[in-house]
Amino acid sequence: MKTIKNEEFGGERPLYASHDLRLENVTIHLGESSIKESSNIEAEGCRFEGKYVFWENDGFRVNNCYFAESARSSLWYSRNCRMTNCKVDAPKLFRRMDGIYVENTDFPNGEQYLWDCKNIELKNVRIDNCDYAFMHSENIKIEHYHQEGNYAFQYAKNVEIHDAIINSKDSFWESENVTIYDSEINGEYLAWYGKNIRLVRCHLTGEQLLCYVDGLTLEDCTFGEDANLILEYSTVNGTIKGDVHSIKNPTSGTVVVEGKVGELIWDKNQKAPADAKVIVKNLNA
């Protein structure tokens, strides 16, 4: 493997079509497509300022690197990316990629991250300003995660999340095969039109949560005081710990509430088969 140390590059495609290359303390200045169409690239302690750095790459590892805000759209159409211990100010990263591993990295400018990607693993990651993250992505595993930004995980498939804080209106809209453990999710219209959604020991806040869900499982979840009109037109089974502001017209299944329900609404608009059961254990609370 060839090594380049302590050098600076800029302009158009300075390291285009490189293979088996290690970069140490290298700066890529403004320009475009600096390491495009490359493979087996290692970057250690590097600084990236130009756009479209890693496009059409196969096998690249970046550790302790910095992506400036000007390095927008720097990881697209690539495979087998490993990013660790980085600082990233660049927006619109990770598009149409296969095989993404990110650990111990914060993204303060996460606009439109992770679109149309698959086989994603994140550990100890925070993304801020990340409206529309994970759009149409699949095969996602996340641990120790914090997110600030709306419309996350829309149309995502095969998602497993542990120990997360997700502040996002309309998250998991029309998502499929999602399991979330020991997490806090805040925001309106959670998982509307989702399919096979399982929440385990999660705390949920926001209005009109979990409506129109086909195959919802709740295991020892809790709801905030603002969680009103939940479960409308959903097929749902499971247990809710604590109190619930209001439940409206679940379609089928059985929900056990181990607290009180402020209002339980059954009206003529309930959808067939209209045989859902809500069992409230603490009737006198």
| DSSP letter (8 states) at residue 271 | P
In terms of Cα–Cα distance, which of 6, 10, 15, 5 is closest to 28?
Answer: 10
Query: Distances from the Cα of 174 to the Cαs of 16, 21, 272, in angstroms?
Result: 39, 42, 21
- Domain boundaries defined on the chain: 1-90
Domain topology for 1-90: Pectate Lyase C-like (2.160.20)
The span from the CA of 249 to the CA of 21, in Å, is 60
Read off the pLDDT of residues 97-149 as tens digits, 9 standing for 90 and up.
999 999 999 999 988 999 999 999 999 999 999 899 999 999 999 999 999 99
Q: What is the mean pLDDT of the chain?
A: 95
Read off the pLDDT of residues 16-33 as tens digits, 9 standing for 90 and up.
999 999 999 999 999 999
Collapse the DSSP code of 196 into the 3-class scheme (helix H, G, I; strand E, B; otherwise coil) and give the result: strand
Burial class (CB in 10 A: 0-12, 13-18, 19+), 277: exposed
Two structure tokens written together for 244: 């619930």
pTM assigned to the model: 0.94
In terms of Cα–Cα distance, which of 178, 183, 174, 263 is closest to 221?
Answer: 183
